[in-house]
Copies of this chain bind each other. A is one copy, B any other.
Amino acid sequence: MTVFGGIESGGTKWECAVGTGPDDERSATTIPTTTPEETIGRVVDFFLREGPVDALGIGSFGPIDARIGSPTWGYVTTTPKPGWSNTDVGQEIRRRLGVPVAFDTDVNAAALGEHRWGAGRGLRSLWYVTVGTGIGGGAIVDGRLLHGLSHPEFGHLRVPHDRDADPFDGSCPYHGDCLEGLASGTALEARWGTPASALEDAAAWALEARYLALGFVAVVAVLSPQRIVVGGGVGRSPGLLPLVRRELSALMNGYLGFELPDDYLTPPALGGRSGVLGAIALAESAD
């Protein structure tokens, strides 16, 4: 029987698992993100020890090169994370494990995981967003992962920023006050001096909900998904989704001619496992 490996690689940790799905996770581990050499070495060791696996899926932090046939396919590209810019991940792991590897964004993997086994089961289209250290999005359209010129880079769209109400310049090194620069965990901590997990000011959360809703208006306006799954450490903060839901409805202002369903914004059914399980699903299409 075929057994897959899944990796959700993040800026702080890499989740690795061996199995075929949420009811068949045979082995799993979490490896802290240090240098590329050390991190990838420990990941390879895990799969050599717990495997063999027949194929591997990687859902990676980004931006990445996932263009099949590109010489830098499998690379993490222009990430601001120190030491990781232009780093070969996919080709290196493929060479060292000697198995087919599928390489995509962490959020595309999570979208696939939620579509296969979670909050998106049976839906034709789905948007998965993570709001954590950064902000990213991935999509299922007609039951398949969305790919185009590249992959979505949801965090970097621009939203209205009222500098009188919110004089914070934004935390994105590329764009300043893009959505990620205003509403990521990094932005919250820089603006308020408190990590999101300890932030209790209602006005701070109202502003956060406003920015996320402005981002979701763009998702509805461009992609019109059947559901939006909101994950990530900040995205799963208690009480946040109802605030965002209200703002989103106010911003749409009845224009669609029907109300968005009550569960239009929903937490991931797989909790923090959407990404690594989605990476296992991704492995099915590895070549």
Interface residues of A (CB under 8 A from B): 63, 65, 77-78, 124-125, 137, 139, 141-142, 144, 146-161, 174-175, 214, 217-227, 251-258, 260, 264
Q: Are B221 and A153 in contact (CB under 8 A)?
A: yes
CB distance from A94 to the nearest CB of B (A): 20
- Contacts A158-B251, A221-B154; A141 near B137 (Cβ below 8 A): no
Q: Could you give 29 example pairs across A and B, Cβ below 8 Å? A: A63-B257, A78-B254, A137-B221, A139-B223, A141-B142, A141-B146, A141-B148, A148-B223, A148-B226, A149-B225, A149-B226, A149-B227, A150-B224, A150-B258, A151-B224, A153-B220, A153-B221, A156-B255, A157-B218, A157-B221, A158-B217, A158-B218, A158-B251, A159-B159, A159-B160, A160-B161, A175-B251, A222-B222, A223-B223
Cα A152 to Cα B141 in complex, Å, equals 13
Q: Are A149 and B220 in contact (CB under 8 A)?
A: yes
Q: Are A222 and B254 in contact (CB under 8 A)?
A: no
Report the copy number of this chain in the oligomer.
2
What residues of chain B lie closer than 8 Å to A219, measured between beta carbons? 222
CB distance from A3 to the nearest CB of B (A): 29
- Contacts A144-B142, A175-B255, A257-B77; A152 near B221 (Cβ below 8 A): yes
Q: Are A158 and B157 in contact (CB under 8 A)?
A: no
A86 nearest in chain B by CB position: B257
What residues of chain B lie closer than 8 Å to A251, measured between beta carbons? 158, 175
Cα A264 to Cα B149 in complex, Å, equals 10
Q: Are A253 and B152 in contact (CB under 8 A)?
A: no
What residues of chain B lie closer than 8 Å to A158, measured between beta carbons? 159-160, 214, 217-218, 251
Q: What 5 additional pairs, Cβ within 8 angstroms, besides A150-B256, A156-B252, A157-B218?
A: A125-B149, A149-B227, A152-B223, A159-B160, A174-B255
A227 nearest in chain B by CB position: B149
What residues of chain B lie closer than 8 Å to A141, measured between beta carbons? 141-142, 146, 148
